[in-house]
Amino acid sequence: MKRNYYIVALIMLVFFVISFLTNVIGPLIPDIIKVFNLSYTLAGVLPLAFFIAYGVMSVPSAMMLDTFKEKKIMVAAFIVAFLGSLLLAMVPNYMSAIVSLFLIGCGMAMLQVVINPLLRTSGGEENYAFTAVLAQLIFGLASFLSPLVYSYMVKALKEDKGNGGIISMLHSLVPANLPWISLYWLFAVICLGMVVILVLTKFPKVELKDDERSGSVQTYLSLFKQPVVIMFLLAMFCYVGTEQGIANWISQFLNTYHGLDPQTVGANTVAYFWGLMTAGGVVGLFLLKVIDSRKVLIAFTLLALVCLSAGLFGPTKVALAAFPLVGFFASVMYPIIFSLALNSVDKEHGSFAGLLVTAIIGGAIVPPVIGLLGDAFGLRAGMFFLYITLGYILSVGFWARPLISNKIIDIKKKVIND
């Protein structure tokens, strides 16, 4: 079919918005703990509420896709996210925060199911690898920017003298002791704007490949009977848990052990964590062309463990550099685990991919586990749990036996199958 570059650009915008709304939770944790007087355990429930939505909505959204098609699901997703954002903006308390994050998570899960097949159709199968990588880079850019926008809005609200403009208008909407709530007014406006754009957009017809269709209940049961499927689901669970466990607790850790302001230094550190993750993904693309993916995974995971240790035990300057570097070395974990998983089964790749996306629920479990351990033994000890999740990811590089390995280029520029 004819390539539709407007739809490709729209999908890139959707990737940006998903990341912008998703990865700002971490910088907000210290503010939420302070304002609502929460324990680490209760604070850990917030990312749980968001990521549990992926476990709830991923497979049902895939099943609804054949009936309701892409446009309706995407519009519904942003309406759900709009309602979630508006709820917390208008009723800022702990319970509304939990419901709000769950609703936003549901919307983001619905979008994730739709946009990849739509990107393949609109941009062309022959360009899919390129557009998929571009989408991930844009996703990373939004992850980098959202904590910075949060920091800017909080600072602007504190310094505004009532001279008019958007910031002054927010003063009438945002409680003085909750400047971070302004971010959820921004989210509500963004979601509403996306609804308008989507309603006015004509979508191409998407023909799903067999591997992109959701399977029957029997298909999923047959996959669960394969030990390798369970092992890779656990690997994906550990990866997302590690990513969110670090991102959600960096700011609070720096505040607790180094006395750093979470609204400025903490938010910036989280931003650099996501920014270096994006940079690491670019480096990883080149490395995967010359080195077997399992070796890359082993090397990067070992380096991530070294940086995590430096962040947890080093002085302030070391911690400020080490935590973002964990993001750099974690960058290759998701694509390598995903590709090794799909290349380790000979059929039902679409259903398996759906299960792997559902394993994003790891982002719901690990942060509250860290919080629970943090309440009992201190936050530094709580973050020791990340050694377990990273240790399992490290093991994947040793036991994975893909049916098809990644193609690599030797120094003579010959393509070989390793």
pLDDT grade for 173, boundaries at 50, 70 and 90: confident
Dihedral of alpha carbons 56, 57, 62, 68, sign: positive
Check residue 416 and give its pLDDT: 52
pLDDT digits (tens, 9 = 90+) for 4-62: 788 889 999 998 999 898 888 888 888 889 888 999 999 988 888 888 887 788 778 77
Would you list the domain boundaries of the chain? 5-417
Per the structure block, which two tokens stand in for 146? 């959202």
3-state secondary structure of 403: coil
For residues 62 and 15, what is the distance between their CA atoms, to the nearest angstrom? 18
What pLDDT sits at residue 390? Answer: 96
Q: Which H/E stretch holds residue 58? A: helix 40-90
Amino acid letter, residue 137: L
Burial class of 415 by CB neighbour count within 10 A (0 to 12, 13 to 18, 19+): exposed
What's the CA gap between 92 and 67, in Å, rounded? 36
Residue 129 has pLDDT above 70, yes or no: no
CA distances from 277 to 141, 219, 251, 417 (A): 10, 34, 17, 28
Confidence of residue 254 (pLDDT cuts 50, 70, 90): very high
Question: What mean pLDDT, rounded, does the chain reach?
Answer: 84
Residue 77: pLDDT band (50, 70, 90) is very high
The pLDDT > 90 percentage for the chain reads 40
Q: Which range has the top average pLDDT, 91-105, 142-156, 212-226?
A: 91-105
Higher per-residue pLDDT: 320 or 116: 320
Q: What is the DSSP letter of 127?
A: G
pLDDT at position 398, please?
92
What is the reported pLDDT for 134? 78
Q: Categorize the per-residue pLDDT at 349 as very low, low, confident or very high, splitting at 50, 70 and 90.
A: low
**128, 11 Cβ separation under 8 angstroms:** no
CA–CA distances in Å: residue 348 to residues 77, 207, 222, 342: 27, 17, 10, 9
233 pLDDT higher than 80: yes
What distances in angstroms separate CA 11 from CA 5, 16, 118, 136, 201, one per listed residue?
10, 9, 8, 11, 12
Q: Which CATH architecture has domain 5-417?
A: Up-down Bundle (1.20)
Read off the pLDDT band of 209 (50, 70, 90): low
pLDDT of residue 2: 61
Beta carbons of 372 and 382 less than 8 angstroms apart: yes
Strand partners, 408: 416
What is the pairing mode between strands 407-409 and 415-417?
antiparallel
* 3 state DSSP class of 117: helix
Distance, CA of 111 to CA of 15 (rounded, Å) = 9
Q: Which pLDDT does position 214 carry in this prediction?
A: 54
